[in-house]
Amino acid sequence: MTKPVVLVAEELSEAGLAVLGADFEVRHTDGADRSQLLPALADVDALIVRSATQVDAEAIAAAPKLRVVARAGVGLDNVDVEAATKAGVMVVNAPTSNITSAAEQTLALILASARNTAQAHAALKNGEWKRSKYTGVELDGKVVGILGLGKIGQLVAQRLQPFGVELIAYDPYLPPARAAQMGVKLLSLEEVIRQADFITVHLPKSKETLGLIGDKELHEVKPSVRIINVARGGIVDEGALYTAIKEGRVAGAGLDVFAKEPCTDSPLFELDQVVATPHLGASTHEAQEKAGTQVARSVKLALAGEFVPDAVNVQGGAVAEEVKPGLPLAEKLGRVFTALAGEVATKLDVEVRGEIAAHDVRVIELAALKGVFNDVVEDSVTYVNAPLLAKERGVNVELVTSSDSPLWRNVVTVRGVLADGRQVSVSGTLSGPRQITKIVEVNGYEMEIEPTEHLCFLTYADRPGIVGVVGHLLGEHGINIASMQVARDVKGGKALIALTVDSAIPAEVAEQIVSEIGAESGRTVDLED
Ligand SMILES: NC(=O)c1ccc[n+]([C@@H]2O[C@H](COP(=O)([O-])OP(=O)(O)OC[C@H]3O[C@@H](n4cnc5c(N)ncnc54)[C@H](O)[C@@H]3O)[C@@H](O)[C@H]2O)c1
Ligand SMILES: O=C(O)[C@H](O)COP(=O)(O)O
């Protein structure tokens, strides 16, 4: 059996490679070099990167088998998550792996900037004993403004507390009470910029944050301000920062990240007031070990078709053990639903009833949608793109949960309304100690059949002799019936035959059966992949 291929496009810790183990074919490439990356993507199942590999729409299109992109770190600005989602590719990161390292690097740059450590060090190594030139400032009593009080911003705040600073922050998405608990006062961006002696940036790079600290803002800061950026290059405009330092409107800067990386020739490097490092925030043994092992675990889960807690483009929360067996059931019900409906519903309810409804069952809705669209679109349907497919087709999807399930311990129903107002539904359960998948309801008719690979549902007017005709016609075409059930609403009313057969029923045979028994509808379902 061929092993799934994992392409490691940047340095990954030994511990991460060890977690991948022998179950995968691990290949290496230089992700920063497009001429190497694009051809290397042709047959890979998973891609592992850090920040130097651009996983854009072109790269995703070059990887038709790709199932997961794993970012061994935090920032996802180098991954086109939207393009990945459209292609059904899961994107995962390691959101906490390097936050301590990034926070410590921030402290290092704040202190180095305050005390001119790097510049004095370089001068001394150059044989210059200069003391007054490198006189610095204390942190004690100063105001530190944190832009982005998220995971790293909060760790920085905690670590700065003992220095006797006043902490203020700009983060419109954080409740002020949460900030107050940490001893940080939330203010507007303008106020932070005007009051701070140190400004430290911990924002994600986005359309809103790119150039957030630009020429205008750098005209409003205190001239004694030092600006630290360990988040992403470009959030502080490098040209505007250069001019502000040159003109004495900013006292100094500590920079770990740059708008274009690698960056070795920034005009900022000419300024003695700037201390800079080559994107080293996450470059510690500890952070790399954590990032490597976390993404390797996520890749293993993703390639095993399991739910991945760190996936950023899959809706829903952690999946409880009790819920997991319901996923293949819901997916199967989704496929049966589409076969019964023969079209995409305008409104779709995924109902989860019974004991499992006490858990977060949003993933069951995803699994049902995955099944609903499995035989509708050419491209592969995954937990990632299934909700997107529903949205694109204007399907209004709702998850309905209830602890009340009178007949079965747990039951999942996919119920839909079609364009002409008709309703279609199919329910299933996992029965007995062996948790056997059973369909227990179709369009309101109760039954109990095990959905094998080939199924057929016939709705007709209840009368004698129909079972014989169906059996005879199938027999004539060499199709063996594995099981058959008949259900009806009232005697002489509408009836439904549910059949499982050993081979697919060709369309012309199904049509012949429908015509001979005068069926209202006849639907075949083929569940083999
Ligand atoms: N230099 C490095 O090596 C290194 C290492 C790790 C992380 N990072 C970067 O550090 C940054 C912060 O990472 P994190 O893990 O703390 O992220 P996070 O998501 O935990 O925190 C970001 C915070 O920014 C706030 N925010 C988002 N958009 C905003 C906006 N437009 N205006 C104001 N606030 C906004 C959010 O509310 C959140 O609290 C990211 O850019 C990440 O890529 C860099
Ligand atoms: O976002 C991150 O995780 C950091 O910027 C680290 O990036 P790196 O993995 O390329 O060092």
Give the span between the Cα atoms of 425 and 486, in whole angstroms. 17
CB of 281 shorter than 6 A to ligand 2: yes
The lowest-confidence range among 29-33, 197-201, 266-270, 360-364 is: 360-364
Q: With beta carbons less than 8 A apart as the criterion, state whether 354 and 408 touch.
A: yes
Do the beta carbons of residue 413 and residue 351 sit within 8 Å?
yes
pLDDT at 191 over 80: yes
Tokens (6 digits) for 513: 């059966």
Nearest atom within ligand 1 for CA of residue 209: 31
Distance (Å, rounded) from C-alpha 524 to C-alpha 510? 8
- Protein residue with its CA nearest to atom 11 in ligand 2: 282
Element (H, E) at 367: helix 362-374
| Chain segment 202-215, per-residue pLDDT in tens | 999 999 999 999 99
Interface confidence, given as ipTM, is 0.99
Count CA atoms closer than 13 A to 232's CA, side-chain side: 20
Helix 151-160 / helix 99-115 crossing angle, nearest 10 deg: 50
What number does the ligand 2 atom closest to the CA of 72 have? 9
Q: Is the CB of 438 under 6 A from ligand 2?
A: no
pLDDT tens-digit series, residues 282-314 = 999 999 999 999 999 999 999 987 778 899 998
Q: Given the DSSP bridges, would you call strands 25-28 and 481-488 parallel, antiparallel or unpaired?
A: unpaired
Amino acid (one-letter) located at 155: L
3-state secondary structure of 5: strand
Rounded percentage of the chain residues whose pLDDT exceeds 90: 89
Task: In whole angstroms, give the CA distance from residue 209 to residue 203.
Answer: 7
> Model confidence at 55, in pLDDT bands (50, 70, 90)?
very high
SS3 525: strand
Is the distance from the beta carbon of residue 53 to the nearest atom of ligand 2 less than 6 Å? no
Half-sphere CA count of 89, side-chain side, radius 13 A: 28
Could you tell me if the CB of 282 is within 6 A of ligand 2?
Answer: yes
Residue 492: which pLDDT band, with cuts at 50, 70 and 90?
confident
Tokens of 127: 């044989």
Q: In angstroms, what is the span from residue 278 Cα to ligand 2's centroid?
A: 11
Mean pLDDT of the region 105-134: 97
Q: Which of these, 334, 374, 328, 326, lies nearest to 350 by C-alpha position?
A: 334
Look at residue 490 and tell me whether its pLDDT is greater than 90.
no
Tell me the best of 98, 152, 284 to mutate to test the pocket of ligand 2, counting ligand atoms within 8 Å of each CB and taking the most: 98
Pocket test residue of 13, 51, 109, 151 for ligand 2, highest count of atoms within 8 A of CB: 51
Predicted confidence band of residue 528 (pLDDT cuts 50, 70, 90): confident
CA torsion angle for 212, 218, 223, 227 (degrees, to 10)?
30
Catalytic: 261?
yes
> What are 428's strand-pairing partners?
412, 439
Compute, in angstroms, the gap from residue 20 CA to the centroid of ligand 2.
21
Residue 288 CA, closest ligand 2 atom number: 9
Residue 204 Cα: closest atom of ligand 1: 41
Whether 472 is a known active-site residue: answer no
Rounded mean pLDDT, 333-350? 94
Structure confidence at residue 434 (pLDDT): 85
Atom of ligand 2 nearest to the CA of 51: 10
Q: pLDDT digits over 391-421, tens only?
A: 999 999 999 999 998 889 999 999 999 999 9
Gap between the Cα atoms of 260 and 268, Å rounded: 13
Looking up tokens 């709702």, which residue turns up?
Answer: 398
Closest by CA position to 527, among listed 329, 315, 278: 329
Question: What confidence score (pLDDT) does residue 76 get?
Answer: 94
50 Cβ closer than 6 Å to some ligand 2 atom: yes
Q: What is the mean pLDDT of the chain?
A: 95
Tell me what the mean pLDDT of segment 443-468 comes to: 93
Q: Point out the ligand nearest to the CA of residue 152.
A: 1
The single residue of 50, 67, 202, 232 carrying the catalytic annotation is 232
Which position among 25, 261, 289, 448 bears the catalytic label?
A: 261
Q: List the residue whose alpha carbon is closest to atom 39 of ligand 1.
A: 150
Residue 375 has a pLDDT of 86
Number of H helices, E strands in the chain: 17, 22
Mean pLDDT in residue range 136-143: 98
Quote the pLDDT of residue 529. Answer: 63
The Cβ-side half-sphere exposure at 266, using a 13 Å CA radius, reads 27
Q: Is 279 a catalytic residue?
A: yes
Q: Which of 163-172, 246-255, 367-376 has the lowest mean pLDDT?
A: 367-376
Question: Residue range 130-155: average pLDDT?
Answer: 97
- What phi and psi, each to the nearest 5 degrees, are found at residue 334? -60, -40
pLDDT computed for residue 406 by the predictor: 84
Dist. CA 172–CA 317, nearest whole Å: 24
171 lines ligand 1 (CB under 6 A): yes
Which ligand 1 atom sits closest to the C-alpha of 205? 41
The number of C-alpha atoms within 13 Å of 11 and in the hemisphere containing its C-beta is 8
Counting ligands in written order, the one closest to the CA of 32 is 2
Q: How far is the CA of 432 from the centre of ligand 1 (A)?
A: 48
* Cα–ligand 2 centroid distance for 73 (angstroms): 5
